[in-house]
Amino acid sequence: MTATDLTSSHAPAAMAPLSPTPEPRRRRRRRNPVVLRFPFVPSGFTRCGLLSWRRVAGVVQIVHPFDEQTVSDATVVDGLVGLVEAGVLSGQEQFESAAVDIIRGSAGTSADAWAAFYDNSLRELRSGTSAFAPVHHRARSLVAGDSLLEVGSCFGFFALACARDGLRVSACDISEGAVSLLSRASRRLGLPVEARVGDATRLPHDANSVDTVSLIHLLEHLDEPAALTAITEALRVARRRVVVAVPFEEIPSPHFGHRLRLTEDDLRRWAERVTHGGAEVFTDHGGWLVLTPA
């Protein structure tokens, strides 16, 4: 999966459950975890999957072993989800603060750390070793035409993968930090992606301007009226197809910023409430709604 983002009622994406966040306010920083890097579990720490932890004066300290060879979206998320399930972390702010600190601390410089994070994450998604790879592969198979807009792009892994395939790719996210990271990765990798800040409910794109618009693991972060508005906006911009993917969860994951518990029936109901020229709903590692613009 892939985490979420920042502070807005129209939360950004979620191709991956992580996303760069602004520096927390000073009064909140004490509540966020302290992240350290060691190749082994230090004395006094409890091992929990890929990570270890302890609590000192009410503050959680997390130790991770990740370096430039091992840091990736999948490994960071897997490790932190283990701490959530153990009751060590709670809420989106703690989850994302720990995630960003783990990534930044995995190499000698922040630039090297983010470069390794992108390279490893893209490789795992491409090879199928990431748990989120089936969602990426299915989404790629549904892209029609030669141009794509990824809405709620977060780190932009899907956008970059489509650019590698030769598509003309645009991406937007409500997070300036996420857009900045994607733009830097795009330049470094030589994979052209036009990334800009934008709200899914007010897309900064002209009508009928791209062939396919994707909203991959985005709409579960919104309330239902905003989700329907986002679908309507995607249909306005798309010439040929809108691709929606959502997770099916018994309980929406608060650490990922999820707000809606969705089923196939919800996707069918959404299709009935927007104007389109055809709709398909199916299940494959979550739910899919594929729409043809009217």
pLDDT beyond 50 at 21: no
Tell me, yes or no, if the pTM score tops 0.95: no
How confident is the model over 102-153, as pLDDT tens digits?
A: 999 999 999 999 999 999 999 999 999 999 999 999 999 999 999 999 999 9
Q: What is the pLDDT of residues 61-100, one digit of tens each?
A: 999 999 999 999 999 999 999 999 999 999 999 999 999 9
pLDDT of residue 260: 97
* Average of per-residue pLDDT across 193-199: 98
Q: Among residues of the chain, what percentage have pLDDT more than 90?
A: 89
Q: How far apart are CA 281 and CA 25, in angstroms?
A: 42
For 235, the token pair is 């249909």
157-195 pLDDT per residue, tens: 999 999 999 999 999 999 999 999 999 999 999 999 999
Look at residues 86, 106, 94 and name the one whose alpha carbon lies nearest to residue 36.
Answer: 106
Query: What domains sit in the chain, N to C, each tagged with a CATH number?
Result: 26-123 (no CATH), 132-292 (3.40.50.150)
pLDDT, residue 20, reads: 38
Question: What pLDDT shows up at residue 279?
Answer: 99
Torsion of CA 216, 222, 225, 228, to 10 degrees: 0
- Give the tokens for residue 143: 């892209």
Judge whether residue 18 has pLDDT over 50: no
Write down the pLDDT at residue 80.
98
Arithmetic mean of pLDDT, 51-69 = 97
pLDDT of residue 15: 32
Contacts of residue 293, Cβ cutoff 8 Å, sequence gap at least 6: 208, 235, 236, 238, 239, 240, 241, 242, 276, 277
pLDDT at site 31: 81
Tokens of 218: 């985005």
Q: Which residues contact 28 (CB under 8 A, 6 or more apart)?
A: 93
The widest CA-to-CA distance across the chain, in whole angstroms, is 63
Q: Which amino acid is at 3?
A: A
Tokens 């750390």 correspond to: 113
Mean pLDDT of 203-225: 98
Half-sphere exposure of 77 (CA within 13 A, CB side): 21
> Mean of the per-residue pLDDT values for the chain?
91
